[in-house]
Amino acid sequence: MVVWFGLFGLGGPALYSGDAASEREVVQASAGMGPIAESGAKPVLIEQISYEPGKPSEGDAFPEAASLSENNKAAAAPQEQEQKQNQKQNEKLLYLTFDDGPSENTKQVLDILKREGIAATFFVLGEQVLKQPEIAKRIVAEGHAIGNHTFNHKYDRLYGSFAEFAGQVMKTDEAIYKTLGIRTTLFRAPGGTYSNFDQGYFDAMAEAGYQVHDWNVDSGDSKRVGVPAAEILSTIKKSKLAATLNVLLHDGKGHAESVKALPAILKYYKSKGYTFVPLTDQVKPIQFNVAKQLKWDRAKVSKPEKQSLIAFSEKLGRNSLLGQAEPNAPSLILHRGEQRLELSKEEYRLRNGSIEVPLLKLSEWVGGITKLDLEHGIIEAYYDGNQVLKLSSQTGKMTVEQSERMAVPVRATLEKFGIIITSVVYNDQQREIWLSA
């Protein structure tokens, strides 16, 4: 199961200093869950903790997603750093999401977003991606995020059997990859999870590495056919404002009125001070609670059904976080004085401009100590007796094996240890990094 970690720098300077860190720099980990461990090499398992993976919060039915800035709370040493941190904490984020496309309406949505300089998230249907490949490609080319919305959106099939549901998730995953050349872990259930998902659905999706996103603002544009633009805007304005909003809209066939309402919706939220950002796999999902009564009479998710989806993700390297290795990639070699660390092509990756390597192996090599509180999903790294970074899981559980696959951006992490990269060679034949002593 893949879990994305927020960063809390509790000792020393922040791991990512300067202005607001880009989302690609957020430290990430794959997880599931367990105990407390400490060693300079591999973590030591002390106790096993029981866990229900993927269980939503039991509080408000619309729990807010923690924003990137909230998840990256650094120990502010200088006053300037503290002021910047306060500014980031006060930032209001809005995730604008569109379901059911791509369609001809998507073209107009993209035109509006491009004109306004806004990036959004599109939860696409597999069959529509195959029917409208050029529009799907345009979504990605213009900087928007793509999410999986199943293949055909037919509720009775999706929620009548988990085998059918999982099959559609995998089929759409493949449709997106074959059309766009990318994989996504973002997912939204047609109709939302409430009264459609039981705990078995949540657990299976979490263990397969998908992040299931519901919403906390429903535009109401799908409550019946042809909801007029004025009514959509009125519904938006009556919705509760919060520090983080995930706004549900639709760009599929029959939603021309949603397109008409979009400029006014954007103007409204801009007037309220919101920053528009796309969802990433580092954003904590908003999820509805499991309903006491489902709409569907179906069998519980079986172990083989769940394992089928998990095995699919494992083949993609999703549970390793380092993903699929480049077929002919050379090893990555780190040099520090006479010391040398060689990582195979399966042990590192280049992701959004950052070289990422396993945290535990990197920490061990430079002489650090790692502590794992797997019950609460906390990982701490110490160097020369001082805590240099602390990672906190958003869903709270992982295994030792999964912690060993945790990937971090090498430059930013080494700087946290007080080690500077002096030179890098990264090409198809040679990949080496030289560090300060």
Catalytic residues: 99, 250
CA–CA distance, 302 with 171 (Å, rounded to integer):
20
The candidate with the shortest Cα–Cα distance to 409, out of 82, 7, 1, 39, is 7
Counting other chains too, the contacts that 132-139 makes at CB distance below 8 Å and 24 or more residues apart are 132/101, 132/102, 132/103, 132/106, 133/179, 135/101, 135/102, 135/103, 135/104, 135/106, 135/107, 135/110, 136/102, 136/176, 136/179, 136/180, 137/179, 137/180, 138/107, 138/110, 139/102, 139/106, 139/110
Distances (CA, A) of 34 to 6, 31, 282, 378, 385: 18, 10, 21, 10, 25
Q: Tell me the backbone φ, ψ of residue 206, rounded to 5 degrees.
A: -65, -45
CA–CA distance, 109 with 291 (Å, rounded to integer):
33
- β-pair type (339-343, 332-336): antiparallel
CA–CA distance, 34 with 43 (Å, rounded to integer):
12
The candidate with the shortest Cα–Cα distance to 47, out of 56, 55, 38, is 38
Burial class of residue 338 (count of CB atoms within 10 Å of its CB; 0-12, 13-18, 19+): exposed
Name the token pair of 152.
């055909």
The candidate with the shortest Cα–Cα distance to 2, out of 411, 418, 407, 431, is 407
Name the token pair of 99.
């379901």
94: β partners = 245, 276
Burial class of residue 108 (count of CB atoms within 10 Å of its CB; 0-12, 13-18, 19+): middle
354: β partners = 351
Sign of the CA dihedral with 109 first, then 110, 115, and 117 last: positive
